[in-house]
């Protein structure tokens, strides 16, 4: 029996699903963060843990890994060298790794034209026209990931330190962040070792806050999203699908700008498509 594996991996966690040739999902599993640009070895271990759990849920032995035809949509797959190294290291019969943006688009739109805004720990935007996917963003927190949870959390920390220096007004939210981190020097120490997922943990307090600092950050995030979506839509009246942990919040906030559609499937569905089709996305 032919077995197919789909893996959806991001900065917060990863999901795996094993399916048969008809697309029936036999078992699923979850694992830790799987951003292959920021931690390739950790991502590989978490992916394999999720796959082991999926095989166990399907009632299959761990040795079946060697027979799986796998499609993986992973954060960080646009970093030089990471895909080749991971594909060589994984024990599957056939392995294809693409960015999580590609699998998100294939899962969300299937064969339809449209724009996808994926906003979680990181961010990436993509458009599909006639089955061809074009991705922008997704360059990681150091160089991009605008409007992502990590970007928002980092912006909050930066705003707190600007308030310490009296460039901006010290608000209750900024004061609370400073107190939690033990003052400005503690906040700097946090920033030096924090991973994107740890910055992203600060983002939820911004979503519904009326604190002026939160409002300013959310306004900037909306501007970044609007710029990316408008660039990808160009002159076409394409619908927009919001994905990721922050997707519903921004869809609600920005609903009047474009026609917004629900996702037809998940990034994990897109990864299974990649595994079963085996063609170029």
The per-residue pLDDT for range 3-16, each reduced to its tens digit, is 999 999 987 789 99
Please indicate, yes or no, whether residues 84 and 196 belong to a single structural domain of this protein: no
What is the domain count for the chain? 2
CB neighbour list of residue 277: distance below 8 Å, 6 or more residues apart:
none
CATH at 191 = 3.30.420.40
125-170 pLDDT, tens digit per residue, is 999 998 888 989 888 888 889 999 999 999 999 999 999 999 999 9
Residues in the chain: 281
The answer, yes or no, to whether residue 66 has pLDDT greater than 50, is yes
Q: Are residues 98 and 174 in the same domain?
A: no
CA-based nearest residue to 104, from 75, 83, 62: 75
Whether residue 104 is predicted with pLDDT greater than 80 in this model: the reply is: yes
What mean pLDDT is predicted for residues 188-194?
94
Alpha helices in 181-265 (DSSP H): 184-193, 196-200, 204-207, 212-233, 247-253
Separation CA 7–CA 18 (nearest Å):
9
Q: Is residue 126 part of a domain?
A: no
Contacts of 135 (CB under 8 A, 6+ apart): 78, 99, 101, 102, 124, 125, 126
Three-state SS at 228 = helix
Indicate whether 132 belongs to any domain: no
For range 192-219, the mean pLDDT: 94
Residue 128 domain-assigned (yes or no): no
Both 174 and 251 in a single domain?
yes
Whether 105 and 47 share a structural domain = yes
On whether both 45 and 97 belong to a single domain, the answer is yes
Residues 35 and 90 in one domain: yes
**pTM confidence score:** 0.77
Mean pLDDT score of the chain: 91
- Evaluate whether residue 197 is within a structural domain: yes
**273 lies in a domain?**
yes
Residues 147 and 251 occupy one common structural domain: yes
The SS3 call for residue 83 is helix
pLDDT given for residue 164 in this prediction: 96
- Could you say which DSSP state residue 168 is in? S
Q: Is 115 inside a domain boundary?
A: no
| Per-residue model confidence (pLDDT) at position 132 | 87
The larger pLDDT score, comparing residue 36 to residue 92, is at: 92
pLDDT at 278: 55
Is there a domain that residue 121 lies in?
Answer: no
- From the list 127, 145, 125, the residue with the least C-alpha distance to 136 is 125
Please give the residue range of the domain that contains residue 170: 140-260
Both 243 and 151 in one domain: the answer is yes
Return the H-helix or E-strand segment holding 156: helix 149-164
Which tokens in the block code for residue 94? 């056939």
Q: Does one domain contain both 161 and 73?
A: no
Q: Please, how many CA atoms are within 13 Å of residue 216, restricted to the half-sphere of its CB?
A: 13
Please report whether residue 124 resides in a domain: no
């Amino acid at each position: 029996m032919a077995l197919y594996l789909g893996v959806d991996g991001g900065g917060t966690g990863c999901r795996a699903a094993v399916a048969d040739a008809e697309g029936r999902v036999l078992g699923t599993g979850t694992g830790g963060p799987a951003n292959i640009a920021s931690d390739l070895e950790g991502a590989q271990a978490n992916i394999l843990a999720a796959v082991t759990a999926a095989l166990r849920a399907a009632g299959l032995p761990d040795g079946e890994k060697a027979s799986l035809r796998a499609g993986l949509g992973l954060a960080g797959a646009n970093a030089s060298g990471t895909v080749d190294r991971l594909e060589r290291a994984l024990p599957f019969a056939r392995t294809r790794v693409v960015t999580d943006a590609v699998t998100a688009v294939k899962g969300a739109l299937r064969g339809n034209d449209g724009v996808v805004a994926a906003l979680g720990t990181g961010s990436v935007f993509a458009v599909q026209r006639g089955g061809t996917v074009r991705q922008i963003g997704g360059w990681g927190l150091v160089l991009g990931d605008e409007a992502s949870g990590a970007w928002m959390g980092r912006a909050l920390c930066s705003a707190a330190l600007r308030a310490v220096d009296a460039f901006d007004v010290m608000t209750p939210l900024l004061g609370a962040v400073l107190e939690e981190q033990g003052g400005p020097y503690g906040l700097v120490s946090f920033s030096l070792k924090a991973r994107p997922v740890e910055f992203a943990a600060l983002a939820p307090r911004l979503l519904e806050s009326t604190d002026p600092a939160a409002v300013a950050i959310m306004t900037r995030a909306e501007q970044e999203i609007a710029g990316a979506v408008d660039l990808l839509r160009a002159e076409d009246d394409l619908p927009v699908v919001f994905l990721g942990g922050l997707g519903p919040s921004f869809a609600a906030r920005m609903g009047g700008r474009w026609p917004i559609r629900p996702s037809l499937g998940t990034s994990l569905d897109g990864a299974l498509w990649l595994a079963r089709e085996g063609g170029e996305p």
